[in-house]
């Protein structure tokens, strides 16, 4: 799956306009009418929307997989990141100008055949054991300068498991890749 710079800009704009409309109690923008987004309606993919203020996390919510059109998933995750991340209070309308939006469009998760094959900066991870589940996006390991073992340990921790749980036979580890783009990059520059 590839996204053009124009499509990336359109998705970022859609996310921002959707959050603004939701916080303002207005109708959400219709992505179907946007030429650059119409073709993305055929893509069914998981996605995460991450909100930051001055590089500090302000909200991050996503889905690993979805059967909905990608622009619709982006709208839903943008609203969820702004209003439903349990780690933070709801984003206020006055904060919106300070917020930078990052979108991660995910490939479907696959079982990792060998933990030694995990590549920092390329793979995101999902760790599952029973009802416990944790996910970290590919960029998290890069941002924190983690090696493979640290990435696995932190993903296990996110799942509420002990750090070494990835090597437990009851644990399943999945990997995925992501197309990551944000307003902080030149791709988001205005037309």
Taking the alpha carbons at both ends of the chain, their separation in whole angstroms is: 24
Q: Given pLDDT bands bounded at 50, 70 and 90, which one contains residue 106?
A: very high
* pLDDT digits 0-9 by tens, 120-164: 999 999 999 999 999 999 999 999 999 999 999 999 999 999 999
Average pLDDT, the chain: 94
Please report the sign of the dihedral spanned by the C-alpha atoms of residue 69, residue 74, residue 77, residue 82.
negative
For residue 43, pLDDT beyond 90: no
- Domain boundary among the residues 106, 121, 141 is at 106
For residue 190, pLDDT beyond 70: no
Residues 19 and 88 in one domain: yes
Please give the average per-residue pLDDT across 73-90, as a whole number. 97
Q: Give domain status of residue 183, yes or no.
A: no
Return the SS3 of 90: coil
Q: Give domain status of residue 149, yes or no.
A: yes
Tell me the CA distances in angstroms from 177 to 1, 35, 61, 124, one per residue in order: 11, 27, 17, 6
For residue 189, pLDDT beyond 60: no
pLDDT score for 191: 41
Residues 116 and 168 in one domain: yes
Please report the sign of the dihedral spanned by the C-alpha atoms of residue 92, residue 90, residue 58, residue 7.
negative
- Would the pTM count as exceeding 0.85? yes
How many domains is the chain built from? Answer: 2
Range of the domain at 26: 5-106
Residues 94 and 120 in one domain: no
Please report the sign of the dihedral spanned by the C-alpha atoms of residue 75, residue 183, residue 134, residue 127.
positive
- Domain boundary among the residues 91, 106, 121 is at 106
- Domain boundary among the residues 49, 81, 106 is at 106
The two beta strands, 124-129 and 46-53, are: unpaired
Residues 156 and 66 in one domain: no
Residues 12 and 72 in one domain: yes
């Amino acid at each position: 799956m590839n996204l053009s710079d124009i499509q990336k800009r359109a998705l970022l704009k859609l996310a921002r306009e959707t959050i603004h409309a939701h916080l303002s109690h207005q109708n959400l923008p219709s992505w179907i009418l946007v030429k650059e987004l119409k073709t993305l309606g055929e893509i069914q993919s998981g996605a995460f929307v991450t909100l930051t203020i001055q590089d500090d996390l302000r909200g991050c919510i996503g889905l690993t997989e979805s059967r909905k059109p990608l622009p619709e998933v982006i709208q839903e995750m943008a609203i969820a990141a702004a209003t439903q991340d349990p780690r933070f209070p709801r984003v206020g309308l006055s904060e919106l100008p300070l917020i930078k939006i990052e979108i991660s469009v995910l490939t479907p998760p696959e079982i990792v055949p060998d933990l030694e094959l995990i590549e920092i900066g390329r793979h995101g991870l999902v760790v599952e054991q029973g009802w416990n589940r944790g996910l970290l996006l590919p960029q998290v390991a890069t941002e924190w300068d983690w090696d493979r073992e640290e990435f696995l340990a932190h993903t296990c921790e996110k799942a509420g498991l002990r750090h070494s749980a990835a090597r437990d036979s009851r644990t399943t580890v999945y990997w995925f890749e992501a197309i990551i783009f944000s307003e902080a990059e030149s791709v988001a520059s205005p037309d």
